[in-house]
Amino acid sequence: MAGEYRVDPEALRRYGRTSADRAERLRQSRAELGGHRLPADAFGKLPEAQEIGQEYQRRTDAALDNLTSAADTMEQIGEHTGQVARSYERAEQETVDALTAVAAGLAP
């Protein structure tokens, strides 16, 4: 049959678990990186150093926000793939039940 495909719910669940693992690793990285702050004079004493330090902090904060966002996305992917697996299983069971009912109705 053209366009036929198969879904392996357990493969979806495994992918969901690995997504959850990735989310946890991203959160751990974010916590480690977020725990480090440079001192105000880390870029020197020249007037430009303060501006460089502020820019560094802005970029660091953006990177930390991106890690949080990536972790949240990975977590959502994990949750949704589990839901998709359950949906496929329900649809499969409903198809089996419907065909069983039709077959029972055709039996003499």
- Domain regions of the chain by residue span: 9-106
Sign of dihedral through CA atoms 47, 48, 53, 54? positive
Instruction: Classify residue 107 as left (phi > 0), alpha (psi -120 to 50) or beta.
Output: beta
**What are the structure tokens assigned to 107, written together?**
């039996």
16-49 pLDDT, tens per residue?
A: 999 999 999 999 999 999 998 888 788 988 888 9
Q: Is the pLDDT of residue 59 over 90?
A: yes
Q: Is the pLDDT of residue 1 over 70?
A: no
How many other C-beta atoms lie within 10 A of the C-beta of residue 30? 19
